[in-house]
Amino acid sequence: MDRFLSSYVHNVDAKGRVSIPSSFRQVIHNRGIRELFAMRSLSQPAIDVGGPELMEHYEKRMEAVDPFSDLYQELAIYAYGDGAYLKTDSEGRILMTDFIRSHTGITDRVTFVGVKNSFQLWAPERFEAFRGALREKLRERLPSLRGAAAPVETPE
């Protein structure tokens, strides 16, 4: 149990709080993650959430770039400036800040989507649409999958 798996829809309460699915909390604990870091996904209206590795991923990327170039500076602004720490309360809930809401369109419900080493936050409707489109696309691209045992299906 060390991978973020499956998806869950949770409610946002009047204070803007949402419970992190308990299985995700397990994974967070098992991985020894102390601080949750959040970033806007580049290509999707979703927020990526994970531990420090999430940031290290970009740092590695940046090592290949001249540290004194504009590109490096820009990557730094993106990686560090366009993210946020997510503080959890004593019950394991996180706050849906404007930072999250404006990028995802989340209002009163959130879909948590496990993506192996990290998980994502989506507005449920958008995620449904995305998942549908994704399935189509994969069906076209990977026809060999069709015969197999419903490999593209995602648990509710």
Partner DNA sequence: TTGACGCCCATGGATGCCCATGTTATCCCA
Partner DNA sequence: TGGGATAACATGGGCATCCATGGGCGTCAA
**18 lies in the site for DNA, by CB under 7 A:** yes
**15 lies in the site for DNA, by CB under 7 A:** yes
Q: Which residues bind its own copies (CB under 8 A)?
A: 1, 3-7, 23, 35, 37, 40-45, 48, 58, 60-61, 63-64, 66, 68, 70, 73-78, 80-85, 99, 113-116, 120, 126, 129-131, 133-135, 137-139, 141-142, 145-156
The separation between CA 14 and the C-alpha centre of its own chain, rounded to angstroms, equals: 23
Q: Which residues of 115-145 are buried (b: 16+ CB within 10 A; e: fewer)?
A: eebbbbbbbbebbeebbeeeeeeeeeeeeee
C-alpha span between 121 and 119 (Å, rounded)? 7
- Alpha helices by DSSP H, listed for 1-156, are 22-30, 53-63, 70-76, 98-104, 124-141
Site track for DNA across 50-89, x = CB under 7 A: -------------------------------------x-x
**Which residue is it, tokens 């994502």?**
120
Between 15 and 34, whose beta carbon lies closer to DNA?
15
Between 14 and 42, whose beta carbon lies closer to its own copies?
42
Sites of contact with DNA (CB under 7 A): 8, 10-11, 13-16, 18-22, 25, 87, 89-93, 95, 97
